[in-house]
Structure 1
Amino acid sequence: MTLYAIGDIHGHLDQLKQQHDRIAADQARHGAATVVHIGDLVDRGPDSRGVIDYLMAGQQSGADWVVLKGNHDRMFALYLTALDAHDDGLRRDLSWLHPRLGGAATLASYGVQNPGDRPLEPVFQDALAAVPQAHRDWLAALPTAHHSGDVIFAHAGIRPGIPLAEQVETDLVWIREPFLSDPRDHGALIVHGHTAIDAPTHYGNRLNLDSGAAYGGPLSAVVIDEDGVFHLTDKGRIRLSPQAD
Protein backbone atom coordinates (compact mmCIF):
# COMPACT_ATOMS: atom_id res chain seq x y z
CA MET A 1 0.00 0.00 0.00
CA THR A 2 1.26 3.44 -0.97
CA LEU A 3 -0.70 6.66 -0.54
CA TYR A 4 0.23 10.29 -0.93
CA ALA A 5 -1.51 13.13 0.89
CA ILE A 6 -1.41 16.93 0.71
CA GLY A 7 -2.47 19.21 3.56
CA ASP A 8 -4.70 22.30 3.71
CA ILE A 9 -4.16 24.36 0.52
CA HIS A 10 -6.14 27.57 1.19
CA GLY A 11 -5.87 29.08 -2.27
CA HIS A 12 -2.12 28.61 -2.74
CA LEU A 13 -1.99 27.22 -6.26
CA ASP A 14 1.76 27.73 -6.62
CA GLN A 15 2.46 25.66 -3.52
CA LEU A 16 -0.01 22.98 -4.62
CA LYS A 17 1.81 22.58 -7.93
CA GLN A 18 5.12 22.41 -6.06
CA GLN A 19 3.84 19.54 -3.92
CA HIS A 20 2.56 17.70 -6.99
CA ASP A 21 6.02 18.09 -8.53
CA ARG A 22 7.54 16.53 -5.40
CA ILE A 23 5.03 13.70 -5.53
CA ALA A 24 5.75 13.12 -9.23
CA ALA A 25 9.47 12.92 -8.49
CA ASP A 26 8.83 10.41 -5.71
CA GLN A 27 6.49 8.38 -7.90
CA ALA A 28 9.16 8.23 -10.60
CA ARG A 29 11.34 6.34 -8.12
CA HIS A 30 8.70 4.30 -6.28
CA GLY A 31 5.68 3.93 -8.59
CA ALA A 32 2.33 5.65 -9.03
CA ALA A 33 -0.27 5.77 -6.26
CA THR A 34 -3.38 7.65 -5.16
CA VAL A 35 -2.96 11.27 -4.04
CA VAL A 36 -5.40 12.45 -1.35
CA HIS A 37 -6.00 16.18 -0.83
CA ILE A 38 -7.12 16.66 2.76
CA GLY A 39 -9.48 19.61 2.15
CA ASP A 40 -9.63 23.37 2.73
CA LEU A 41 -8.92 24.13 -0.89
CA VAL A 42 -10.15 27.71 -0.61
CA ASP A 43 -10.06 30.89 1.51
CA ARG A 44 -7.31 33.22 2.73
CA GLY A 45 -4.86 32.54 -0.11
CA PRO A 46 -4.69 34.38 -3.46
CA ASP A 47 -6.03 31.88 -6.00
CA SER A 48 -8.82 29.65 -4.72
CA ARG A 49 -10.40 29.56 -8.17
CA GLY A 50 -7.11 28.42 -9.66
CA VAL A 51 -6.84 25.63 -7.09
CA ILE A 52 -10.32 24.35 -7.94
CA ASP A 53 -9.68 24.59 -11.70
CA TYR A 54 -6.41 22.68 -11.27
CA LEU A 55 -7.90 19.89 -9.18
CA MET A 56 -10.97 19.52 -11.38
CA ALA A 57 -8.82 19.39 -14.51
CA GLY A 58 -6.55 16.76 -12.97
CA GLN A 59 -9.46 14.51 -12.04
CA GLN A 60 -11.09 14.99 -15.44
CA SER A 61 -7.84 13.97 -17.15
CA GLY A 62 -7.82 10.71 -15.21
CA ALA A 63 -5.35 11.56 -12.44
CA ASP A 64 -5.71 9.26 -9.42
CA TRP A 65 -6.60 12.14 -7.10
CA VAL A 66 -9.01 12.12 -4.18
CA VAL A 67 -10.17 15.57 -3.05
CA LEU A 68 -11.87 15.79 0.33
CA LYS A 69 -14.20 18.48 1.60
CA GLY A 70 -12.89 20.81 4.30
CA ASN A 71 -14.90 23.18 6.46
CA HIS A 72 -13.87 26.16 4.30
CA ASP A 73 -14.97 24.36 1.15
CA ARG A 74 -18.32 23.58 2.78
CA MET A 75 -18.77 27.21 3.89
CA PHE A 76 -18.06 28.42 0.35
CA ALA A 77 -20.53 26.00 -1.21
CA LEU A 78 -23.16 26.82 1.42
CA TYR A 79 -22.73 30.57 0.93
CA LEU A 80 -23.66 30.16 -2.73
CA THR A 81 -27.01 28.58 -1.81
CA ALA A 82 -28.51 31.52 0.14
CA LEU A 83 -27.39 34.87 1.49
CA ASP A 84 -28.42 33.94 5.03
CA ALA A 85 -27.02 30.39 4.98
CA HIS A 86 -24.86 29.58 8.01
CA ASP A 87 -22.64 26.54 8.60
CA ASP A 88 -23.57 24.52 11.70
CA GLY A 89 -19.91 24.29 12.68
CA LEU A 90 -19.32 28.05 12.64
CA ARG A 91 -19.93 30.38 15.56
CA ARG A 92 -23.18 32.31 15.16
CA ASP A 93 -21.39 35.66 15.44
CA LEU A 94 -19.18 34.92 12.41
CA SER A 95 -19.92 34.57 8.72
CA TRP A 96 -17.89 33.18 5.84
CA LEU A 97 -17.08 36.73 4.70
CA HIS A 98 -15.68 37.72 8.11
CA PRO A 99 -11.99 38.67 7.75
CA ARG A 100 -11.02 35.78 10.02
CA LEU A 101 -12.46 33.23 7.60
CA GLY A 102 -11.04 34.47 4.30
CA GLY A 103 -14.10 34.12 2.11
CA ALA A 104 -13.54 37.54 0.54
CA ALA A 105 -10.21 36.36 -0.89
CA THR A 106 -11.99 33.43 -2.51
CA LEU A 107 -14.61 35.64 -4.16
CA ALA A 108 -11.90 38.05 -5.31
CA SER A 109 -10.20 35.15 -7.11
CA TYR A 110 -13.41 34.76 -9.14
CA GLY A 111 -13.34 38.45 -10.07
CA VAL A 112 -15.88 39.75 -7.54
CA GLN A 113 -14.90 43.34 -6.81
CA ASN A 114 -14.20 44.40 -3.20
CA PRO A 115 -16.21 41.53 -1.70
CA GLY A 116 -15.25 42.45 1.85
CA ASP A 117 -16.12 46.14 1.59
CA ARG A 118 -19.57 46.30 -0.04
CA PRO A 119 -23.14 45.56 1.05
CA LEU A 120 -23.83 41.85 1.37
CA GLU A 121 -26.65 41.52 -1.17
CA PRO A 122 -24.76 42.95 -4.20
CA VAL A 123 -21.71 40.86 -3.30
CA PHE A 124 -23.87 37.74 -3.11
CA GLN A 125 -25.46 38.42 -6.50
CA ASP A 126 -22.04 39.05 -8.04
CA ALA A 127 -20.79 35.78 -6.53
CA LEU A 128 -23.68 33.83 -8.04
CA ALA A 129 -22.82 35.28 -11.44
CA ALA A 130 -19.07 34.72 -11.07
CA VAL A 131 -18.76 31.17 -9.71
CA PRO A 132 -19.39 28.59 -12.45
CA GLN A 133 -22.11 26.03 -11.79
CA ALA A 134 -19.54 23.30 -12.47
CA HIS A 135 -17.51 24.55 -9.51
CA ARG A 136 -20.57 24.60 -7.26
CA ASP A 137 -21.58 21.08 -8.24
CA TRP A 138 -18.04 19.76 -7.76
CA LEU A 139 -17.67 21.37 -4.32
CA ALA A 140 -21.04 20.07 -3.16
CA ALA A 141 -20.16 16.53 -4.24
CA LEU A 142 -16.75 16.32 -2.54
CA PRO A 143 -16.46 13.34 -0.19
CA THR A 144 -15.76 13.92 3.49
CA ALA A 145 -13.60 10.83 4.11
CA HIS A 146 -11.46 8.31 2.29
CA HIS A 147 -10.63 4.87 3.72
CA SER A 148 -7.81 2.79 2.29
CA GLY A 149 -6.39 -0.20 4.14
CA ASP A 150 -5.50 0.86 7.66
CA VAL A 151 -5.59 4.59 6.90
CA ILE A 152 -8.58 6.94 7.13
CA PHE A 153 -8.38 10.45 5.67
CA ALA A 154 -10.74 13.17 6.92
CA HIS A 155 -10.23 16.91 6.87
CA ALA A 156 -10.60 17.62 10.59
CA GLY A 157 -10.55 14.12 12.08
CA ILE A 158 -13.19 11.82 13.51
CA ARG A 159 -15.46 11.60 16.54
CA PRO A 160 -13.60 9.03 18.69
CA GLY A 161 -15.43 5.78 19.32
CA ILE A 162 -17.81 6.18 16.38
CA PRO A 163 -17.47 3.87 13.32
CA LEU A 164 -16.53 5.67 10.13
CA ALA A 165 -19.87 4.83 8.50
CA GLU A 166 -21.67 6.59 11.38
CA GLN A 167 -19.56 9.75 11.47
CA VAL A 168 -21.44 12.97 10.71
CA GLU A 169 -20.14 15.46 8.16
CA THR A 170 -19.86 18.34 10.61
CA ASP A 171 -17.44 16.35 12.76
CA LEU A 172 -15.40 15.20 9.77
CA VAL A 173 -14.86 18.77 8.57
CA TRP A 174 -14.87 20.73 11.86
CA ILE A 175 -13.87 18.62 14.87
CA ARG A 176 -10.92 19.41 17.11
CA GLU A 177 -11.74 18.12 20.58
CA PRO A 178 -12.14 15.46 21.78
CA PHE A 179 -10.30 14.08 18.75
CA LEU A 180 -6.98 15.87 19.10
CA SER A 181 -6.35 14.86 22.70
CA ASP A 182 -7.68 11.30 22.42
CA PRO A 183 -4.79 8.80 22.73
CA ARG A 184 -6.79 5.72 21.72
CA ASP A 185 -6.09 3.49 18.77
CA HIS A 186 -8.86 4.41 16.30
CA GLY A 187 -8.47 1.16 14.38
CA ALA A 188 -6.70 3.04 11.59
CA LEU A 189 -4.23 5.89 11.26
CA ILE A 190 -6.32 9.08 10.95
CA VAL A 191 -4.74 11.51 8.47
CA HIS A 192 -6.16 15.01 8.84
CA GLY A 193 -5.53 18.74 8.66
CA HIS A 194 -7.70 21.62 9.94
CA THR A 195 -5.59 22.42 13.02
CA ALA A 196 -2.52 24.38 11.95
CA ILE A 197 0.87 23.36 13.33
CA ASP A 198 4.45 24.12 12.23
CA ALA A 199 5.12 20.92 10.28
CA PRO A 200 3.40 17.61 9.52
CA THR A 201 3.45 15.56 12.72
CA HIS A 202 2.79 11.87 13.44
CA TYR A 203 1.17 11.26 16.82
CA GLY A 204 0.86 7.48 16.55
CA ASN A 205 -2.91 7.27 16.14
CA ARG A 206 -3.19 10.32 13.88
CA LEU A 207 -1.14 12.35 11.40
CA ASN A 208 -1.69 16.11 11.09
CA LEU A 209 -0.76 17.60 7.69
CA ASP A 210 -1.85 21.23 8.20
CA SER A 211 1.45 23.11 8.29
CA GLY A 212 -0.21 26.54 8.16
CA ALA A 213 -0.32 27.52 4.48
CA ALA A 214 -3.35 29.67 5.42
CA TYR A 215 -1.12 31.75 7.71
CA GLY A 216 2.06 32.08 5.66
CA GLY A 217 3.43 28.63 6.40
CA PRO A 218 4.30 25.96 3.86
CA LEU A 219 2.01 23.45 2.23
CA SER A 220 3.09 19.90 3.03
CA ALA A 221 2.86 16.49 1.39
CA VAL A 222 3.57 13.03 2.77
CA VAL A 223 3.77 9.49 1.53
CA ILE A 224 2.52 6.52 3.53
CA ASP A 225 3.69 3.04 2.58
CA GLU A 226 4.72 -0.27 4.14
CA ASP A 227 7.92 1.33 5.43
CA GLY A 228 6.16 4.11 7.36
CA VAL A 229 5.25 7.77 6.93
CA PHE A 230 7.56 10.20 5.16
CA HIS A 231 7.50 13.98 4.65
CA LEU A 232 8.30 14.85 1.03
CA THR A 233 10.92 17.57 0.64
CA ASP A 234 13.24 18.89 -2.08
CA LYS A 235 15.84 16.53 -0.61
CA GLY A 236 13.53 13.53 -0.81
CA ARG A 237 11.75 11.54 1.89
CA ILE A 238 12.17 12.37 5.58
CA ARG A 239 10.76 9.80 7.99
CA LEU A 240 8.04 10.97 10.40
CA SER A 241 8.23 8.86 13.53
CA PRO A 242 5.34 8.82 16.02
CA GLN A 243 5.76 11.24 18.90
CA ALA A 244 3.84 12.16 22.03
CA ASP A 245 1.15 14.81 21.62
Structure 2
Amino acid sequence: MRSYVIGDIHGHLDLLQRAHDRIAADRRAVGDDAAPVIHLGDLVDRGPDSPGVIDFLLEGAAAGAPWVVLKGNHDRLFTGFLDDPKRQDAGLRAELSYLHPKIGGAQTLASYGVRAAGDRPVAPVHAEARAAVPAAHRDFLTALPAMHRHGEVLFVHAGIRPGVALANQTETDLIWIREPFLSDPRDHGVLVVHGHTALDRATHYGNRVNLDSGAAYGGPLTAAVIEGRDVWLLTEGGRVALRP
Protein backbone atom coordinates (compact mmCIF):
# COMPACT_ATOMS: atom_id res chain seq x y z
CA MET A 1 0.00 0.00 0.00
CA ARG A 2 1.69 3.14 -1.25
CA SER A 3 1.36 6.72 -0.04
CA TYR A 4 3.26 9.92 -0.66
CA VAL A 5 3.88 12.50 2.03
CA ILE A 6 5.21 16.06 2.26
CA GLY A 7 6.57 17.70 5.41
CA ASP A 8 5.91 21.11 6.97
CA ILE A 9 5.47 23.73 4.20
CA HIS A 10 5.38 27.08 6.08
CA GLY A 11 4.38 29.31 3.20
CA HIS A 12 6.96 28.06 0.68
CA LEU A 13 4.95 27.58 -2.50
CA ASP A 14 8.05 27.10 -4.63
CA LEU A 15 9.27 24.24 -2.44
CA LEU A 16 5.80 22.67 -2.41
CA GLN A 17 5.58 22.72 -6.19
CA ARG A 18 9.01 21.10 -6.50
CA ALA A 19 8.01 18.43 -3.96
CA HIS A 20 4.98 17.63 -6.09
CA ASP A 21 7.22 17.47 -9.16
CA ARG A 22 9.33 14.80 -7.45
CA ILE A 23 6.19 12.88 -6.54
CA ALA A 24 4.95 13.11 -10.14
CA ALA A 25 8.26 11.69 -11.35
CA ASP A 26 7.97 8.74 -8.97
CA ARG A 27 4.36 8.16 -10.02
CA ARG A 28 5.49 7.91 -13.63
CA ALA A 29 8.29 5.52 -12.70
CA VAL A 30 5.99 3.11 -10.84
CA GLY A 31 2.83 3.68 -12.90
CA ASP A 32 0.70 4.90 -9.98
CA ASP A 33 -1.58 7.90 -10.26
CA ALA A 34 -3.94 6.93 -7.43
CA ALA A 35 -1.83 6.74 -4.25
CA PRO A 36 -2.70 9.57 -1.86
CA VAL A 37 -0.40 12.50 -1.14
CA ILE A 38 -0.54 13.48 2.53
CA HIS A 39 0.57 16.98 3.55
CA LEU A 40 1.61 17.05 7.21
CA GLY A 41 0.32 20.53 8.03
CA ASP A 42 1.82 23.90 8.92
CA LEU A 43 0.83 25.34 5.57
CA VAL A 44 1.31 28.89 6.84
CA ASP A 45 3.67 31.18 8.83
CA ARG A 46 7.33 32.15 8.49
CA GLY A 47 7.50 31.73 4.70
CA PRO A 48 6.68 34.26 1.97
CA ASP A 49 3.54 32.90 0.29
CA SER A 50 0.99 31.29 2.59
CA PRO A 51 -1.99 32.28 0.39
CA GLY A 52 -0.25 30.74 -2.63
CA VAL A 53 0.20 27.47 -0.73
CA ILE A 54 -3.46 27.37 0.25
CA ASP A 55 -4.62 28.23 -3.28
CA PHE A 56 -2.40 25.48 -4.71
CA LEU A 57 -3.90 22.90 -2.37
CA LEU A 58 -7.46 24.12 -2.92
CA GLU A 59 -7.01 23.95 -6.70
CA GLY A 60 -5.62 20.43 -6.48
CA ALA A 61 -8.52 19.26 -4.37
CA ALA A 62 -11.01 20.91 -6.74
CA ALA A 63 -9.38 19.10 -9.66
CA GLY A 64 -9.85 15.76 -7.92
CA ALA A 65 -6.24 15.14 -6.92
CA PRO A 66 -5.92 12.35 -4.31
CA TRP A 67 -4.54 14.72 -1.71
CA VAL A 68 -4.97 14.77 2.06
CA VAL A 69 -4.07 17.95 3.94
CA LEU A 70 -3.64 17.75 7.71
CA LYS A 71 -3.90 20.54 10.25
CA GLY A 72 -0.75 21.85 11.91
CA ASN A 73 -0.45 24.02 14.99
CA HIS A 74 0.38 27.08 12.87
CA ASP A 75 -2.75 26.55 10.79
CA ARG A 76 -4.87 26.57 13.96
CA LEU A 77 -3.02 29.60 15.34
CA PHE A 78 -3.80 31.50 12.13
CA THR A 79 -7.52 30.76 12.12
CA GLY A 80 -7.68 31.31 15.88
CA PHE A 81 -6.23 34.80 15.44
CA LEU A 82 -8.73 35.57 12.70
CA ASP A 83 -11.58 34.41 14.93
CA ASP A 84 -10.40 36.24 18.06
CA PRO A 85 -7.02 38.00 18.40
CA LYS A 86 -7.16 37.55 22.17
CA ARG A 87 -7.61 33.78 21.98
CA GLN A 88 -4.77 31.81 23.59
CA ASP A 89 -4.28 28.45 21.92
CA ALA A 90 -4.12 25.55 24.35
CA GLY A 91 -0.74 24.48 22.98
CA LEU A 92 0.96 27.89 22.94
CA ARG A 93 3.11 29.19 25.78
CA ALA A 94 1.36 31.98 27.69
CA GLU A 95 4.02 34.59 26.88
CA LEU A 96 3.59 34.11 23.12
CA SER A 97 0.92 35.26 20.69
CA TYR A 98 0.27 34.76 17.00
CA LEU A 99 2.10 37.99 16.16
CA HIS A 100 5.18 37.16 18.24
CA PRO A 101 8.30 37.01 16.01
CA LYS A 102 8.90 33.37 16.99
CA ILE A 103 5.58 32.31 15.46
CA GLY A 104 5.79 33.97 12.06
CA GLY A 105 2.21 35.18 11.89
CA ALA A 106 3.27 38.65 10.74
CA GLN A 107 4.86 37.11 7.63
CA THR A 108 1.61 35.31 6.85
CA LEU A 109 -0.43 38.49 7.22
CA ALA A 110 2.09 40.38 5.08
CA SER A 111 1.57 37.83 2.32
CA TYR A 112 -2.12 38.76 2.41
CA GLY A 113 -1.25 42.45 2.19
CA VAL A 114 -1.49 43.37 5.89
CA ARG A 115 1.60 45.49 6.53
CA ALA A 116 3.77 45.56 9.68
CA ALA A 117 1.38 43.34 11.59
CA GLY A 118 3.79 42.83 14.46
CA ASP A 119 4.52 46.52 14.93
CA ARG A 120 1.04 48.04 15.17
CA PRO A 121 -1.92 47.85 17.55
CA VAL A 122 -3.66 44.50 17.31
CA ALA A 123 -7.18 45.79 16.70
CA PRO A 124 -6.56 47.41 13.29
CA VAL A 125 -4.29 44.54 12.25
CA HIS A 126 -7.04 42.07 13.07
CA ALA A 127 -9.66 44.08 11.18
CA GLU A 128 -7.42 44.28 8.11
CA ALA A 129 -6.63 40.57 8.31
CA ARG A 130 -10.32 39.66 8.52
CA ALA A 131 -10.93 41.69 5.37
CA ALA A 132 -7.87 40.40 3.51
CA VAL A 133 -8.05 36.64 4.08
CA PRO A 134 -10.63 34.96 1.82
CA ALA A 135 -13.38 33.06 3.58
CA ALA A 136 -12.49 30.02 1.49
CA HIS A 137 -8.99 29.99 3.03
CA ARG A 138 -10.34 30.25 6.57
CA ASP A 139 -12.94 27.56 5.97
CA PHE A 140 -10.35 25.25 4.40
CA LEU A 141 -7.90 25.55 7.29
CA THR A 142 -10.59 25.24 9.96
CA ALA A 143 -11.96 22.02 8.46
CA LEU A 144 -8.62 20.22 8.09
CA PRO A 145 -8.42 16.84 9.84
CA ALA A 146 -5.71 16.25 12.43
CA MET A 147 -4.74 12.70 11.43
CA HIS A 148 -5.04 10.24 8.57
CA ARG A 149 -4.41 6.50 8.53
CA HIS A 150 -3.41 4.64 5.41
CA GLY A 151 -2.60 0.97 5.85
CA GLU A 152 0.14 0.52 8.45
CA VAL A 153 0.93 4.24 8.63
CA LEU A 154 -0.61 7.01 10.73
CA PHE A 155 0.01 10.54 9.49
CA VAL A 156 -0.19 13.42 11.96
CA HIS A 157 1.38 16.84 12.24
CA ALA A 158 3.15 16.55 15.60
CA GLY A 159 2.66 13.05 16.99
CA ILE A 160 0.41 11.13 19.35
CA ARG A 161 0.14 10.75 23.10
CA PRO A 162 1.69 7.35 23.83
CA GLY A 163 -0.60 4.81 25.45
CA VAL A 164 -3.80 6.58 24.36
CA ALA A 165 -6.02 4.87 21.78
CA LEU A 166 -6.03 6.62 18.42
CA ALA A 167 -9.75 7.27 18.71
CA ASN A 168 -9.14 9.14 21.97
CA GLN A 169 -6.29 11.40 20.83
CA THR A 170 -6.99 15.11 21.18
CA GLU A 171 -6.45 17.59 18.37
CA THR A 172 -4.16 19.63 20.62
CA ASP A 173 -1.85 16.65 21.12
CA LEU A 174 -1.94 15.70 17.44
CA ILE A 175 -0.83 19.17 16.33
CA TRP A 176 1.37 20.25 19.27
CA ILE A 177 2.89 17.32 21.16
CA ARG A 178 6.61 16.80 21.53
CA GLU A 179 7.25 14.98 24.79
CA PRO A 180 6.56 12.31 25.85
CA PHE A 181 6.05 11.25 22.22
CA LEU A 182 9.51 12.02 20.84
CA SER A 183 11.38 9.99 23.44
CA ASP A 184 8.94 7.04 23.57
CA PRO A 185 10.54 3.94 21.98
CA ARG A 186 7.48 1.69 21.96
CA ASP A 187 5.75 0.43 18.85
CA HIS A 188 2.50 2.35 18.53
CA GLY A 189 0.80 -0.31 16.40
CA VAL A 190 1.34 1.88 13.34
CA LEU A 191 4.31 3.71 11.90
CA VAL A 192 3.72 7.34 12.93
CA VAL A 193 4.81 9.81 10.24
CA HIS A 194 4.94 13.41 11.46
CA GLY A 195 6.60 16.80 11.28
CA HIS A 196 6.42 19.73 13.73
CA THR A 197 9.87 19.26 15.32
CA ALA A 198 12.37 20.65 12.83
CA LEU A 199 15.52 18.65 12.12
CA ASP A 200 18.45 19.07 9.76
CA ARG A 201 17.16 16.11 7.76
CA ALA A 202 14.29 13.63 7.76
CA THR A 203 14.92 10.87 10.28
CA HIS A 204 13.53 7.36 10.81
CA TYR A 205 13.37 6.24 14.45
CA GLY A 206 11.88 2.78 13.89
CA ASN A 207 8.49 3.52 15.44
CA ARG A 208 8.13 6.97 13.87
CA VAL A 209 9.46 9.08 11.02
CA ASN A 210 10.01 12.84 11.32
CA LEU A 211 9.82 14.58 7.93
CA ASP A 212 10.18 18.19 9.09
CA SER A 213 13.50 19.11 7.52
CA GLY A 214 13.29 22.80 8.43
CA ALA A 215 11.73 24.48 5.39
CA ALA A 216 10.57 27.18 7.82
CA TYR A 217 14.23 28.02 8.57
CA GLY A 218 15.77 27.81 5.12
CA GLY A 219 15.99 24.03 4.93
CA PRO A 220 14.54 21.75 2.26
CA LEU A 221 10.97 20.52 2.05
CA THR A 222 10.97 16.73 2.26
CA ALA A 223 8.80 14.54 0.07
CA ALA A 224 8.75 10.79 0.66
CA VAL A 225 7.04 7.64 -0.54
CA ILE A 226 5.96 4.88 1.83
CA GLU A 227 5.12 1.30 0.89
CA GLY A 228 3.98 -0.79 3.83
CA ARG A 229 6.41 0.50 6.45
CA ASP A 230 9.30 1.06 4.05
CA VAL A 231 10.22 4.71 3.46
CA TRP A 232 12.14 6.39 0.65
CA LEU A 233 12.98 10.06 0.33
CA LEU A 234 12.24 11.49 -3.10
CA THR A 235 15.16 13.40 -4.60
CA GLU A 236 15.87 14.87 -8.02
CA GLY A 237 17.70 11.61 -8.73
CA GLY A 238 14.91 9.34 -7.56
CA ARG A 239 14.32 7.30 -4.41
CA VAL A 240 16.75 7.15 -1.50
CA ALA A 241 15.95 4.64 1.24
CA LEU A 242 15.34 6.11 4.71
CA ARG A 243 16.05 3.49 7.35
CA PRO A 244 16.09 3.50 11.17
| TM band (smaller chain) | over 0.9
Matches within 5 A, 1:44-193: 44-193=46-195
SS for the counterpart of 1:222 is strand
User: C-alpha root-mean-square deviation of aligned residues, in Å?
Assistant: 0.8
**SS class of match (1:116):** helix
Alignment-mate amino acid for residue 223 of structure 2: A
Paired AA for residue 26 in structure 1 = D
Q: TM-score when scaled to structure 1?
A: 0.97
Distance 1:238 1:148 in 2: 21
CA distance in 2, matches of 1:55, 1:174: 22
SS at match of 1:83: coil
Query: What's the CA shift for 1:228?
Result: 1.6
Deviation at 1:229, TM superposition (A): 0.6
Please list every run of at least 4 consecutive aligned residues from structure 1 whose deviation after the TM superposition is greater than 6 angstroms.
none
Partner residue in 1 for 2:14:
14
Q: Which amino acid aligns with 2:8?
A: D
Q: Does 1:197 align with 2:208?
A: no
2:155 is paired with a residue of what secondary structure? Answer: strand
Listed as ranges, the matches of 1:15-54 within 5 Å are 15-30=15-30, 31-32=32-33, 33-54=35-56
Secondary structure of the structure 2 residue equivalent to 1:147 = strand
Which residue type is aligned with residue 174 of structure 2?
L
Instruction: Name the SS for the 2:119 alignment partner.
Output: coil
Deviation at 1:114, TM superposition (A): 1.5
Question: Which amino acid in structure 2 is aligned with residue 175 of structure 1?
Answer: I
The one-letter code of the counterpart of 1:91 is R
Could you say which residue in structure 1 is the equivalent of 2:217?
A: 215
- Distance (Å, rounded) in 1 between the aligned partners of 2:85 and 2:199: 33
For 2:193, what is the secondary structure of its paired residue? strand
Counterpart Cα distance in 2 of 1:188 and 1:211: 22
Q: Give distance in 2, aligned partners of 1:227 and 1:45.
A: 31
SS in 2 for 1:4: strand
Question: Which residue identity does 1:197 align to in structure 2?
Answer: L
Question: In the TM superposition, what is the alpha-carbon distance from 1:112 to its structure 2 partner?
Answer: 0.8
Determine what percentage of the aligned residue pairs are the same residue: 65
How far did 1:19 drift? 0.2
Shift of the alpha carbon at 1:227? 7.6
Paired residue total: 242
Give the Cα–Cα distance (whole angstroms) in 1 for the partners of residues 166 and 228 of structure 2. Answer: 23
Q: Which amino acid aligns with 1:3?
A: S
Structure 1 residues 227, 74: closer, same or farther in 2, change over 3 A? closer
Paired residue secondary structure (2:213): coil
Q: Tell me if the contact between 2:152 and 2:229 (Cα under 8 Å) persists in the aligned partners.
A: no
Matched AA of 2:138: R
| Distance (Å, rounded) in 2 between the aligned partners of 1:216 and 1:11 | 12
How far 1:23 moved relative to its partner?
0.1
In 2, Cα distance between equivalents of 1:18 and 1:181: 32
Provide the C-alpha distance between the structure 2 equivalents of 1:12 and 1:83, rounded to a whole number of angstroms: 25
Letter in 2 for 1:123: V
Q: Structure 2 stretches of 5 or more lacking a match?
A: none
Structure 1: give runs of 5+ residues left out of the alignment.
Answer: none
Alpha-carbon distance in structure 2 between the residues aligned to 1:29 and 1:225: 15
CA distance in 1: counterparts of 2:181 and 2:228, whole angstroms: 25
Call closer, same or farther: CA 1:48–1:166 in 2, change over 3 Å.
same
